Amino acid sequence: MSAPIALHPVPIDKLRVACSTCGLRELCLPIGLSDEELGKLDHLVTLRRSFRKGTNVYRAGEPFDALYAVRFGFFKTTVTAADGRDQVTGFSMAGELLGMDGIGTDKHTCDAVALEDSEVCVIPYGRLEEMSRELHSLQHHFHKVMSREIVRDHGVMMLLGSMRAEERLAAFLVNLSQRFTARGYSPSEFYLRMTREEIGSYLGLKLETVSRVFSKFQGEGLISVQQKHVRIIDIPRLRELIGQRPC
Amino acid sequence: MSAPIALHPVPIDKLRVACSTCGLRELCLPIGLSDEELGKLDHLVTLRRSFRKGTNVYRAGEPFDALYAVRFGFFKTTVTAADGRDQVTGFSMAGELLGMDGIGTDKHTCDAVALEDSEVCVIPYGRLEEMSRELHSLQHHFHKVMSREIVRDHGVMMLLGSMRAEERLAAFLVNLSQRFTARGYSPSEFYLRMTREEIGSYLGLKLETVSRVFSKFQGEGLISVQQKHVRIIDIPRLRELIGQRPC
DNA sequence: AGGTCACGTTGACATGGATCAAGCGCGGGA
DNA sequence: TCCCGCGCTTGATCCATGTCAACGTGACCT
């Protein structure tokens, strides 16, 4: 069992190939397009691909020719150093875009791996550039998506560069909670798709430390954890931990 | 004295307002444009701005409306957490682009500060979008620049998430060396424009640690340091430290 | 020329998180 | 239903880096 606990979930069964009828259009690339523009986008995105848990969407070094919009499921992206160590650089869920690392060199520079059975829409990159010359709001929105990725990365640098283990994990949980909320799932109860080791890699910690901090948070009544099932009990205090007003 | 030690430097005194005659055109936004296209770009970039050491190009929260191409000088970018801690996210030198963090939200999300007297070309963002609809290679190159920024950020995550202090500083020095080389300066001898504290913030280390590792490298004959003046003696061994073949 | 101050170095000590090691629990397969 | 193995938890110990403190040094101001 790895589906999230749905409160008012996006109706996945009603998704169709076309962006114009996709339940994710408010989260994904089509944000802000008019109906007419959306119709044009349907010609851009025609192919879907499924990935079983553990399989790669792409690998570092492979030629780049498309971006991938996550339709459902969960992915991690990892970079590998010259000496073989790897580092998780992010986790992607429905409506998020994979593959932007490849534009700069025409080769992918990281691996994208499905953490559960998942599906993506394939966005041929050349067509995206063509079409964004025509549709100004597509162009602008695509730029925004890339820019937000840069801003997200800055947040991770802050996390890795100047936060302590507890703050990192709190930030991670708060971030997941927000993203699940935006997708119509519970803000306080969800299944982690990644292992402790993957969380640790992302947060610059060892898996034992991740496990210990989970236990500590549980002991303090902030969350309850049982393997991959997490329930957040006290979001305001988690937010305080990372220096945000409870809000 | 803070100018780099020039071997065959880009002739700064010959730079003009126009991209078409700018000595940085092989490093900056115009890469790959034809002469005719370059001429059009001259209408995009018409304004230059100077910044004294310590002044801001922009601050987090300010409205975003332009990108800035570094003409000469040196900048740092920093993000500030809710609780006031800040984190250096990068250092920028001639030919590099500042401000892409602002596209996503129409507000800047970090501060950009001159580390020495510097100058930038102002690229009004709306005009850049317009013009990149017309000039395909400008569009593509701009996408590449953003993508490379994402890839660079992944490298920093790797550094912060899974390297030890010595590896981080070695990677930092090798990276600076490469960038100076690309600009026609000595690969092995340069002045650091940033303090130990800024290096430390960027690398997720305290300034004392940075200082100690510099001293250690010096003791091992890898480099010689005297305040901000660094001479790299053994690049191959520095590369080995970060797991790269000496190359 | 001398004073001042920001920046850098170095030492002694503290500690958060890593490492090493043992055992547990749950899901999947036969 | 039982077994197996991966992933998780927890404890004991270690060590890289942080912290605190003192001092050095070069640049700039007057």
pLDDT 10s digits, A15-52: 457 888 888 888 899 898 998 999 888 888 889 999 99
Q: Within this chain, do residues B156 and B168 fall inside the same structural domain, yes or no? A: no
Q: Is residue A65 within 8 Å of A108, Cβ to Cβ?
A: no
Question: Between chains, do A147 and B102 touch, taking CB under 8 Å as contact?
Answer: yes
Rounded Cα–Cα distance for residues B186 and B67 (Å): 29
Is B127 in the same domain as B208?
no
| B134, pLDDT greater than 70 | yes
Give pLDDT tens digits for A125-144: 999 999 999 999 999 999 99
Interface contact B87-A162, CB threshold 8 A: yes
Tell me the per-residue pLDDT of B98-128, one tens digit each, with 9 for 90 and over. Answer: 999 999 999 999 999 999 999 999 999 999 9
> What digits encode the pLDDT tens for the residues A155-202?
999 999 999 999 999 999 999 999 999 999 999 999 999 999 999 999
Q: What is the pLDDT of residue A118?
A: 95
- Give every CB contact of residue B201 below 8 A, 6+ residues apart in sequence: A161, A162, B78, B86, B87, B88
- CATH number of the domain enclosing B220: 1.10.10.10
Q: What's the gap in Å between the CA of A210 and the closest CA on chain B?
A: 14
Which tokens sit at A232?
Answer: 């957040």
Q: Are A142 and A128 in contact (CB under 8 A)?
A: yes
Percent helix, strand and coil across chain B, each to the nearest 5: 40, 25, 35
Average pLDDT over residues A57-80: 97
Residue A213 in any domain: the answer is: yes
Categorize the per-residue pLDDT at B13 as very low, low, confident or very high, splitting at 50, 70 and 90: very low
Separation between the CA of B162 and the C1’ of D11 (whole angstroms) = 25
Alpha helices per DSSP H over chain A: 35-44, 125-134, 136-162, 165-182, 196-203, 207-219, 235-241
At B35, list the tokens. Answer: 């002469």
Q: Residue A27: name the closest of A139, A180, A174 by CA.
A: A180
> At a CB cut-off of 8 Å and minimum separation 6, what does A26 contact?
none
Of A17-21, A73-77, A147-151, least confident by mean pLDDT is A17-21
Q: Are residues A18 and A125 in the same domain?
A: yes
* Count of beta carbons in the 10 Å neighbourhood of residue A227: 8
pLDDT digits (tens, 9 = 90+) for B175-194: 999 999 999 999 999 999 99
Please determine, for residue B34, whether its predicted confidence score (pLDDT) is greater than 50.
yes
Minimum-distance nucleotide, CA of A203 to C1'? C17
Looking at the fold, whether A98 and A41 belong to one and the same domain comes out as yes
Give the domain extent around B153.
Answer: 12-160
Please give, rounded to a whole number of angstroms, the shortest distance from the CA of B172 to a CA of chain A: 14
Please check whether strand C approaches the CB of A38 to within 7 Å: no
Q: Among A106, A136, A160, where does a domain finish? A: A160
- CA-nearest of A67, A20, A22 to A43 is A20
Q: Which of A82, A153, A202 is nearest residue B153 as measured by Cβ atoms?
A: A153
CA of B212 to C1' of C8 (A): 10
Chain B touched by A155 (CB under 8 Å): yes
pLDDT level of residue A6 (50, 70, 90 thresholds):
very low
B1 part of a folded domain:
no
DSSP string, A43-69: HH--EEEEE-TT-EEE-TTSBP-EEEE
Tell me, what DSSP letter sits at residue A114? E
**Beta carbons within 10 angstroms of residue B246's beta carbon:** 10
- Contact residues for B197 (Cβ-Cβ < 8 A; gap 6+): B207
Q: What is the pLDDT of residue A32?
A: 87
Domain assignment present for residue B118? The answer is: yes
Output the six-digit token pair for A50.
């499924």
Residue A242 with chain B: CB contacts under 8 Å: 81-82
pLDDT at B246: 60
Considering its fold, how many domains does chain B have in total?
A: 2
pLDDT at residue B245, as a whole number = 64
- pLDDT score recorded for residue B15: 44
Please say which residue of B113, B143, B160 terminates a domain.
B160
Same domain, B113 and B228: no
> Nearest nucleotide (C1') to the CA of residue B197?
C7
Chain B, nearest residue to A139 by Cα: B129
Q: Which of A120, A142, A160 is the last residue of a domain?
A: A160
Residues B51, B133, single domain; the answer is yes
